[in-house]
Amino acid sequence: MCRLGTVRADTLYAMNRDESAYRYPAGEQALPALETVEHCSGPNPSASVIWLHGLGADGHDFEPLVPQLAWPGAPAIRYVFPHAPVRPVTINGGMQMRAWYDILSIDSDRGHDRQGIADSVSQVEALVAGECERGIPSGRIVVAGFSQGGAIALQLALAYPHKLAGLIALSSYLLFDGELEKRLHEVNRDTPVFVGHGTMDPMVPFSMGQAVYHRLQTLDYPVEWHAYAMPHAVCPEEIKDLGAWLKVRLG
């Protein structure tokens, strides 16, 4: 069986092709800290995975995967699942839901809420910094995300100024692709990336996942591509592959 994750609300199909700023500074006012759900696979964790859910879900969405990602002899890992802020989502009729940013339209250069994206990146950066303050080096932190959460994970990790252990983008897409090369930070140019996508995804088309892989491949990132016969979801085969990938990065 496949885990459906955010199928109930993630109705995004199109990318923003606006070629202006790739990432804005966060707003002038201090942003609230994100609420999180945490699971440690053992005492005294020596690594962390910060995992962002998709549109309309919450931090509990991927909790059940934690024991499935373990391997014999694995170090203790802290999994941090933040809740996105609740905000109206224009494309869903202004309905209030957890979202990393508003989606204004699917057919316009104004299709993404730039300030919302910047604010979410800043809030997740604060989580990474928080893990470092708790004693986890940034080189032992993986940033992961599903769908809209994957877009924020990509936005953050590719530009992050401190070395990360890895980046996971599941059923996701790149934001502001035309500005990507301006935003890359050299310290993470050799950071491993796992990109997975369902071949039957009706929410974020398979071609978008392929585009993430090919774009990073052309930029010489160590990126792995995984395709699965599933919809907008994760499935047992993908979970198995993720566990093997994490073992290499954090084992």
Query: What pLDDT is attached to residue 79?
Result: 98
Residues with a known catalytic role: 147, 201, 232
**pLDDT tens for each residue of the chain, 251 residues long:** 333 333 333 323 222 223 223 233 444 567 999 999 999 999 999 999 999 999 999 999 999 999 999 999 999 999 999 999 999 999 899 999 999 999 887 654 446 788 999 999 999 999 999 999 999 999 999 999 999 999 999 999 999 999 999 999 999 999 988 888 898 999 999 999 999 999 999 999 999 999 999 999 999 999 999 999 999 999 999 999 999 999 999 99
Q: Please name the amino acid found at residue 208.
A: M
Query: What pLDDT is attached to residue 112?
Result: 73
Query: What pLDDT is attached to residue 22?
Result: 29
Distance from CA of residue 225 to its chain's centroid? 15
Query: What pLDDT is attached to residue 106?
Result: 65
> Half-sphere exposure of 163 toward its Cβ, with a 13 Å CA cutoff?
8
Please state the pTM of the whole predicted model: 0.88
Q: What is the 3-state secondary structure (H, E, C) of the chain?
A: CCECCCCCCCCCCCCCCCCCCCCCCCCCCCCCCCCEEEEECCCCCCEEEEEECCCCCCCCCCHHHCHHHCCCCCCCEEEEEECCCEEEEHHHCCEEEECCCCECCCCCCCCECHHHHHHHHHHHHHHHHHHHHCCCCHHHEEEEEECHHHHHHHHHHCCCCCCCCEEEEECCCCCCHHHHHHHCCHHHCCCCEEEEEECCCCCCCHHHHHHHHHHHHHCCCCEEEEEECCCCCECHHHHHHHHHHHHHHHC
Query: What pLDDT is attached to residue 109?
Result: 46
Q: Enumerate domains of the chain plus CATH numbers.
A: 36-250 (3.40.50.1820)
Token pair listed for 12? 């995004």
Q: Please name the amino acid found at residue 151.
A: A
